[in-house]
Amino acid sequence: MSLTEHSLVKEIDYGTPRSNAEKSVTLSIDGKSLSVPEGTSIMRAAMEAGVEIPKLCATDMLDAFGSCRLCLVEIDGRAGTPASCTTPVAEGMVVHTQTERLSRLRKGVMELYVSDHSVDSLDRSKHPDADLLDTAAAVGLQEVRYGFDGAHHRNPGIDDSNPYFAFDPAKCIVCSRCVRACEEVQGTFALTVSGRGFDSIIAAGMDEKFIESECVSCGACVQACPTGSLIEKKVIEEGKPEWSEITTCAYCGVGCSFKAEMRGDEVIRMVPYKDGKANRGHSCVKGRFAWGYANHKERILKPMLRDKIDEPWREVSWKEAIARVASEFKRIQAKYGIGSIGGITSSRCTDEETFLVQKMVRATFGNNNVDTCARVCHSPTGYGLSTTFGTSAGTQDFDSVEQMDVAILIGANPTDAHPVFASRLKKRLRQGAKLIVIDPRRIDLVRTPHVEAAYHLPILPGTNVAILSALAHVIVTEGLVNEKFVRERCDWDEFSDWAEFVSQPRNSPEEVAKVCAVPAQTIRAAARLYATGGNGAIYYGLGITEHSQGSTAVMGLANLAMATGNIGRPGVGVNPLRGQNNVQGSCDMGSFPHEFSGYRHIARDDVRSAFETLWQRKLDAEPGLRIPNMLDAAVDGSFRGIYIQGEDILQSDPDTHHVAAGLAAMECVVVQDLFLNETANYAHIFLPGSTFLEKNGTFINAERRIQLVRKVMEPKNGYEDWEITCLISEAMGYPMHYNHPSEIMDEIAQLTPTFAGVSFKRLEELGSIQWPCNEKAPEGTPVMHINGFVRGKGKFVITEYIATDEKSGPRYPLLLTTGRILTQYNVGAQTRRTDNVIWHHEDGLEIHPHDAEQRGIHDGEWVKLASRSGETTLHALITERVAPGVIYTTFHHPDTQANVVTTEYSDWATNCPEYKVTAAQVSPSNGPTQWQQEYNEFARKSRRIATTIEAAE
């Protein structure tokens, strides 16, 4: 079946949200008897029984509002005609949804709506985009007695200021679904109904244009609009979609489910899928709108070669490119040894693609020099949680947040980096749950509409481990330990050693306050709240892991959760918010040089022999090089060739000069990507990659949730990424034959106990699966460690604070930390090639007014940012979000290259770089540094593509 023969995925709108009540109520609707959970609305109960009650202001993403008066019903024994959306079911209730009286009332209501609408008849063919007329037809409206020329409500004209959607007040019926979506689903409160009666209109911000308001462009309002008043511009331009597939977003680790809605082979829009268990029908500006990069003019679609990196690229056939990769890698291995080449798997690609890259490195290259970008983000999570709990992953599903009573959010900024999770968190906080934010910067969640953190602990960058020990000190010394839990689930001797350690006076809040710069009383209060506030959940991000003590801090979090018994049930846990869409998957798939899929060390003979038997190759039992080690080895001369699938290490890895030196020292750098990224400036062979819309496979999100990625168009470059890996492997003498990615997953399941029950067929049936999925858990595992830890007894680990060697001093008195912004994604390769640049077209440097004044720096001016590693320039943003002494920037733009400044210090256990602490100095500047100018010129030259073959010579 061709792709376009699929139909549009229609989702049922039940009108009001699902009730979670356990008690069931039986009633009758139009003669049908049915049982539904107590608290269900009549509207929803009717829809579940297959009876659709007309509605305009109701949708199951939002709480009932009862304003449109279209969903009226009659109930035996009750007077009047109540709205079915706001009326809950009751035992024995007898409901009628279709009566002559109701029909008359609905027509009357509808007639009024239509008379205010900018149509001149009820003829739907004349007004194909007037969705309201569909509802008019559904209630049987045949005439409008008031005519079509009367006064209409206020209409200041179309607002098309947002790059992705437009607002046409003429089509608006002021049902407030958009306003409520912005409040209830997204939690931004950017919209309101302004004015009354005919004057009423939906207003963004303070009656501003959408783009000028605090709107975050998540699309919830567009999705909620029943009349097409708010609509995607692409639908206006191209027409309504004709078919769709369910797929998984390729941006962050939340892993939102989307319907890719298509017209022919063109994407019309991405609409969040309500049955997606990670996002529950919500989205952010990136996944919802920022997918246009797939067609960007800079996307490379043909393989290219060059002998030296200062030459222009030469387009070649796939055959020639693959042959060159194979001959170069074989030549290098012959000359420098088997260990002289390696590969980097992509956390942007699918599990199947990642698995094949590591398979090729281990089986075809014959070494274990494989790594992935998790090295630079959550490798400490793997080490820390595996050591303490026994599994290298988060403990909960995202639904768990709905049962959380108090959350510690540390080193994460979800409203920017994990926006859909942030919306779910905010919803729970508005219901009364408490929040403790530990972050050097005043992130939005510290105080945002209708959400205010109970405590914000603005620690100095680099002091995570100290503050965690101080929190533990309070819990232990004030008798707040859940002793029953600890005795049952954890090793008591290890706990005792740990308790004695944290109880020492040097770990007291009063002492730690001197290190962290947070008042002792605040530390004590936060600890008490976490330990006694009910279900306590920890959510953390790269602000925990990207430190020289990253792994230690992860274990510190695990200690806190165990000591308070906050593990092993819904509402609690230790939850890493993972960065890339498939960084969990890339780790699960054995992308690290020391372990196979499922986190099993390569030195284990039983595991290795299983792989050797299936792959028919002898495999190396020694760990290979990690990314920073590869770069070092390249400079030292023992590492000479690399295959990089979908990762831009030059921009994303620390100390750019060092990365550049490593890449420049190699004889063959193969980059497989959508664009000529920064790393490709040092490449000899470029293989064009495919987007997530062009391939089949799976991604695994931060919840360990395996979800299908479905192909909606043919790869514009000719191959899905896994096929390219197969071509290289075959050319090197080790063919890997698969007809479809599902066969790769079958191999993964065969070799990996935690994936034993996973297949594409099961994923189709269940929608998604959280590993472990095997005989013990045939439908997967939403919450881990329920009756005991995977490793047996939970392990308390002593977490001594050891200050980083990256210290501020007279030359570099400030501490620089880094993070993401909502509209851009990581190195920006994708988002910079969309209209998202409207919101964030360059990286800026946040600096406290006090520090700015001392240096004579004014808002918006160029400043030079210098560290021991290097210097760059960017524009200053003066703000009190950062404390005095702390500065902050994002790293989305290659013009800035924030990583020119970051250092080579790294986590003691995993070499995860210490991005989050760099001693720095800031001074006024006239513009880009010489290095920036030279690099721009180098990048420009490096990206030249010869127009003819002759020109290359």
Partner 1 sequence: MSLDKFVYMANQIASFFVTQGQETAAASTADHIKKFWDPRMRAAIIAHVKAGGAGLDPVARLAIQSLPEVSSVPEVKSEVGQATQTR
Closest CB to partner 1 among residues 259, 626: 626
Distance, in Å, from the CA atom of 713 to the CA atom of 438, rounded to the nearest integer, reads 44
Half-sphere exposure of 787 (CA within 13 A, CB side): 0
Token pair of 524 as six digits? 């004590």
Q: Are 794 and 562 in contact (CB under 8 A)?
A: yes
Distance, in Å, from the CA atom of 572 to the CA atom of 394, rounded to the nearest integer, reads 11
Closest CB to partner 1 among residues 334, 614: 334
Distance, in Å, from the CA atom of 29 to the CA atom of 94, rounded to the nearest integer, reads 6
Which of 81, 333, 413, 830 is close enough to bind partner 1 by CB under 8 A? 333
Stretch that binds partner 1, among 78-86, 305-313, 798-806, 849-857 (CB under 8 A): 798-806
Asked if 909 interacts with partner 1 (CB under 8 A), we say yes
Find the shortest distance in angstroms from Cβ 775 to partner 1. Answer: 29
Return the H-helix or E-strand segment holding 438: strand 434-438
Give residues with Cβ within 8 angstroms of 257, minimum separation 6: 246, 247, 248, 249, 272, 273, 275, 276, 277, 278, 279, 707, 768
Stretch that binds partner 1, among 118-126, 469-477, 793-801, 889-897 (CB under 8 A): 793-801
Asked if 607 interacts with partner 1 (CB under 8 A), we say no
Which of 510, 511, 632, 835 is close enough to bind partner 1 by CB under 8 A? 632
Residues 919-951: b if buried by 16+ CB within 10 A, e if exposed: bbbbeebeebbebbeebeebbeebbebbeeeee
Closest CB to partner 1 among residues 370, 700: 370
Asked if 340 interacts with partner 1 (CB under 8 A), we say yes
Asked if 798 interacts with partner 1 (CB under 8 A), we say yes
Asked if 357 interacts with partner 1 (CB under 8 A), we say no
Find the shortest distance in angstroms from Cβ 490 to partner 1. Answer: 16
Q: Closest Cα to residue 186, out of 353, 10, 422?
A: 422
Closest CB to partner 1 among residues 107, 331: 331
Token pair of 855 as six digits? 């240096």
* Secondary structure E strands in 482-598: 536-540, 573-576, 595-596
- Amino acid identity of residue 21, one-letter, is A
Q: Are 203 and 194 in contact (CB under 8 A)?
A: yes
Find the shortest distance in angstroms from Cβ 910 to partner 1. Answer: 8
Asked if 638 interacts with partner 1 (CB under 8 A), we say yes
Closest CB to partner 1 among residues 96, 594: 594
Q: Are 890 and 865 in contact (CB under 8 A)?
A: no
Distance, in Å, from the CA atom of 751 to the CA atom of 598, rounded to the nearest integer, reads 9
Which of 239, 519, 637, 778 is close enough to bind partner 1 by CB under 8 A? 637
Distance, in Å, from the CA atom of 780 to the CA atom of 773, rounded to the nearest integer, reads 4
Which of 108, 128, 337, 860 is close enough to bind partner 1 by CB under 8 A? 337
Distance, in Å, from the CA atom of 875 to the CA atom of 868, rounded to the nearest integer, reads 20
Distance, in Å, from the CA atom of 412 to the CA atom of 417, rounded to the nearest integer, reads 8
Residues comprising the chain, all counted: 953
Find the shortest distance in angstroms from Cβ 412 to partner 1. Answer: 24
Asked if 604 interacts with partner 1 (CB under 8 A), we say no
Stretch that binds partner 1, among 517-525, 631-639, 700-708, 862-870 (CB under 8 A): 631-639
Distance, in Å, from the CA atom of 678 to the CA atom of 205, rounded to the nearest integer, reads 38
Which of 243, 365, 599, 643 is close enough to bind partner 1 by CB under 8 A? 365
Q: Closest Cα to residue 546, out of 394, 373, 347?
A: 373
Closest CB to partner 1 among residues 635, 766: 635
The DSSP secondary structure of 41-79, one letter per residue, reads BHHHHHHHTT-PPP-SS--TTS-----S--SB-EETT--
Distance, in Å, from the CA atom of 45 to the CA atom of 85, rounded to the nearest integer, reads 10
Asked if 605 interacts with partner 1 (CB under 8 A), we say no
Find the shortest distance in angstroms from Cβ 720 to partner 1. Answer: 25
Closest CB to partner 1 among residues 42, 587: 587
Closest CB to partner 1 among residues 380, 585: 380
Asked if 40 interacts with partner 1 (CB under 8 A), we say no
Asked if 730 interacts with partner 1 (CB under 8 A), we say no
Q: Are 683 and 672 in contact (CB under 8 A)?
A: no
Find the shortest distance in angstroms from Cβ 398 to partner 1. Answer: 31
Find the shortest distance in angstroms from Cβ 738 to partner 1. Answer: 20
Asked if 338 interacts with partner 1 (CB under 8 A), we say yes
Asked if 369 interacts with partner 1 (CB under 8 A), we say yes
Asked if 545 interacts with partner 1 (CB under 8 A), we say no
Which of 213, 354, 552, 768 is close enough to bind partner 1 by CB under 8 A? 552
Asked if 735 interacts with partner 1 (CB under 8 A), we say no
Angle at 442 (CA atoms; ends 439, 448), nearest 5 degrees: 120
Give the bridge partners for 706, in sequence order. Answer: 700, 769
Which of 57, 178, 523, 732 is close enough to bind partner 1 by CB under 8 A? 732
Compute how many residues bind partner 1; rule: CB under 8 A.
50
Find the shortest distance in angstroms from Cβ 802 to partner 1. Answer: 6
Find the shortest distance in angstroms from Cβ 334 to partner 1. Answer: 5
Stretch that binds partner 1, among 336-344, 433-441, 674-682, 819-827 (CB under 8 A): 336-344
Asked if 797 interacts with partner 1 (CB under 8 A), we say yes
Find the shortest distance in angstroms from Cβ 904 to partner 1. Answer: 8
Asked if 339 interacts with partner 1 (CB under 8 A), we say yes
Which of 633, 877, 882, 922 is close enough to bind partner 1 by CB under 8 A? 633
User: What distance lies between CA 131 and its chain's CA centroid?
Assistant: 33
Closest CB to partner 1 among residues 722, 796: 796
Asked if 648 interacts with partner 1 (CB under 8 A), we say no
Asked if 236 interacts with partner 1 (CB under 8 A), we say no
Residues in contact with partner 1, shown as a per-residue x/- string from 861 to 900 under the rule CB under 8 A = ----------------------------------------
Find the shortest distance in angstroms from Cβ 627 to partner 1. Answer: 12
Closest CB to partner 1 among residues 539, 596: 596
Distance, in Å, from the CA atom of 166 to the CA atom of 157, rounded to the nearest integer, reads 11
Distance, in Å, from the CA atom of 629 to the CA atom of 843, rounded to the nearest integer, reads 29
At 783 the three-state DSSP class reads coil
Give the bridge partners for 890, in sequence order. Answer: 819
Asked if 802 interacts with partner 1 (CB under 8 A), we say yes
Asked if 364 interacts with partner 1 (CB under 8 A), we say yes
Closest CB to partner 1 among residues 618, 940: 618
Cα Rg, the chain, nearest whole Å = 29
Distance, in Å, from the CA atom of 834 to the CA atom of 233, rounded to the nearest integer, reads 14
Footprint on residues 610-629 left by partner 1 (CB under 8 A): 617-618, 620, 622-626, 629
Which of 69, 154, 594, 944 is close enough to bind partner 1 by CB under 8 A? 594
Asked if 761 interacts with partner 1 (CB under 8 A), we say no
* Secondary structure E strands in 541-619: 573-576, 595-596, 600-601
Q: Are 276 and 288 in contact (CB under 8 A)?
A: no
Distance, in Å, from the CA atom of 69 to the CA atom of 894, rounded to the nearest integer, reads 54
Find the shortest distance in angstroms from Cβ 619 to partner 1. Answer: 9
Which of 12, 21, 206, 603 is close enough to bind partner 1 by CB under 8 A? 603
Angle at 111 (CA atoms; ends 108, 115), nearest 5 degrees: 145
Return the H-helix or E-strand segment holding 721: helix 721-731
Find the shortest distance in angstroms from Cβ 812 to partner 1. Answer: 19
Interface residue list for partner 1 (CB under 8 A): 330, 333-340, 363-369, 548, 552, 593-594, 601, 603, 617-618, 620, 622-626, 629, 632-633, 635-638, 732-734, 797-800, 802, 904, 908-911
